[in-house]
């Protein structure tokens, strides 16, 4: 299992992962970036990776065992906070290299993208920071895609309890607190890291009525307290 206790280290988690694992995470992140809702269907992931569905199933099981994705049967996968952190970092590396190769070395987009895809797996946070400084902290890749900020500039554990949001607000689930019955209930309702929910009503006792994937779900106060979200403005 990947050790996620050193997510902020410059000797990054990526060094402990295979390139194939990294590519599954970054491909999932790019599908989400392009507008695909989570859970990301496995056939969509297989198509994006140009591989057989059986290979996707095998890798998804491995990533789930490592705590990088959550697999929802018959629906697909959701990136966990740890998986999102790694995918965001690799995507940052790739797009910084694309800027360097196109702007500084004058490579065409296609070969620059191919080379950046190889360099991303050899890059550390420190190298990425120095590369960003050298390039003047670019915000967009040559293809016009946003270059993510370094995840450590954000609090990976950031989030508020869902019952602290306002009625009508859309939020993305970032983590679940606790174990046992409450977590099992939330998972059964599809309320997992990465899921987008909308608060429909707030009870005076801290309970919440929310909408997820077109369904309405009521959370008692004790369960709502376990759901940490980031509000999407």
Q: Which of 212, 179, 182, 218 is CA-nearest to residue 194?
A: 212
All residues at 6 or more sequence positions from 154 whose CB lies less than 8 Å from its CB, including other chains: none
For residue 29, count other CB atoms closer than 10 A to its CB: 20
Structural domains of the chain in order of their starting residue, each with its CATH number: 1-156 (1.10.10.10), 160-232 (2.30.30.90)
Q: pLDDT band for position 12 (50/70/90)?
A: very low
In angstroms, what CA-CA distances link 48 with 45, 132, 188? 5, 28, 28
What is the arithmetic mean of pLDDT over 62-81?
85
Query: Strand, helix or coil at 173?
Result: strand
pLDDT tens, residue by residue, 27-62: 999 999 888 888 899 999 999 999 888 889 889 988
| Tokens representing residue 49 in the block | 């990776």
Task: Report phi then psi at 198, rounded to 5.
Answer: -125, 130
pLDDT tens, residue by residue, 76-134: 998 887 788 889 889 999 999 999 999 999 999 999 999 999 999 888 888 999 999 99
On the CB side of 104, how many CA atoms lie within 13 Å of its CA?
A: 12
Q: What pLDDT score was predicted for residue 10? A: 35
Residue appearing with tokens 């070969």: 111
Distance CA 35, CA 179 (A): 31
In DSSP notation, 28-45 reads HHHHHHTTPPSSBPHHHH
| Tokens representing residue 128 in the block | 């990425």
pLDDT tens, residue by residue, 146-184: 998 876 544 444 578 898 888 998 888 877 776 667 777
Q: Which of 56, 131, 57 is CA-nearest to residue 89?
A: 131
Distance CA 90, CA 60 (A): 18
Residue appearing with tokens 């410059």: 10
All residues at 6 or more sequence positions from 166 whose CB lies less than 8 Å from its CB, including other chains: 199, 202
């Amino acid at each position: 299992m990947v050790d996620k206790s050193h997510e902020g280290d410059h000797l990054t988690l990526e060094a402990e992962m295979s390139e194939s694992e990294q590519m599954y995470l970054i491909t999932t992140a790019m599908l989400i970036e392009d507008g695909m809702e989570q859970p990301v269907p496995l056939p969509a992931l297989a198509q994006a990776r140009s591989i057989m569905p059986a290979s996707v199933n095998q890798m998804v099981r491995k990533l789930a065992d490592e705590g990088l994705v959550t697999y929802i049967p018959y629906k697909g996968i959701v990136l966990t906070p740890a998986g999102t952190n790694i995918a965001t970092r690799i995507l940052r590396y790739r797009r910084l290299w694309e800027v360097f190769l196109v702007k500084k070395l004058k490579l065409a987009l296609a070969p620059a993208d191919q080379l950046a895809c190889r360099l991303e797996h050899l890059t550390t946070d420190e190298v990425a920071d120095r590369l960003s400084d050298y390039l003047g902290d670019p915000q967009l890749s040559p293809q016009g895609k946003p270059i993510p900020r370094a995840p450590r500039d954000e609090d990976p554990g950031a989030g508020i309890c869902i019952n602290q949001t306002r009625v009508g607000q859309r939020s993305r689930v970032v983590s679940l607190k606790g174990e046992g019955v409450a977590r099992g209930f939330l998972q059964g309702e599809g309320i997992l890291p990465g899921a987008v929910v909308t608060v429909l009503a707030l009870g005076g006792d801290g309970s919440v009525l929310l909408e997820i994937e077109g369904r309405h779900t009521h959370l008692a106060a004790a369960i709502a307290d376990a759901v940490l979200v980031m509000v999407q403005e």
